[in-house]
Amino acid sequence: MKIALGCDHGGFPLKQVVIDAVQSAGHEVIDVGTFSADAVDFPDFTKKVGEKIQSNEAERGILICGSGIGAAIAANKMKGIYASICHDTYSAAQGVAHDAMNVLCLGGRVIGPELVKVLVSAFLSARYLGNDKDGERFSRRVGKIKKMEDESQ
């Protein structure tokens, strides 16, 4: 899988940990920046990650900002992007499996490198269950989310 990765200066210290975790899981990283610890605006990098998913250049994305919250809010403004901050493995996996989450948001000033490794692994190893034989309830719920997204335009 191709994974778009973006961060701001608050997430930059964990960026290499994420890259290593994605590559260790056998996936490819599309790094859209930032490339230093200099102050930048997280919405700029959030948009780049979202566009990679919207254009099908990446299947999923990972965003790291100081808290993870700003990146999640910004990402969810983009059509077809389903982002959530996850600081536990259950949410990182279930967000994909039940809710079609395609962007994992992390707080670079909230969690440490060891937790990042297991969160990235949980996120990348999960798959959406809405297309399975018994996944009707998930696809129904995600369909309602998509309808809300379409109606708000």
Active site residues: 65, 98
Instruction: Report helix, strand or coil for 152.
Output: coil
Distance of CA 81 to the CA centre of its chain: 9
Instruction: Report helix, strand or coil for 22.
Output: helix
**The Cα angle at residue 48 between residues 37 and 67, in degrees rounded to 5:** 50
- The Cα–Cα gap between 55 and 144 comes to 23
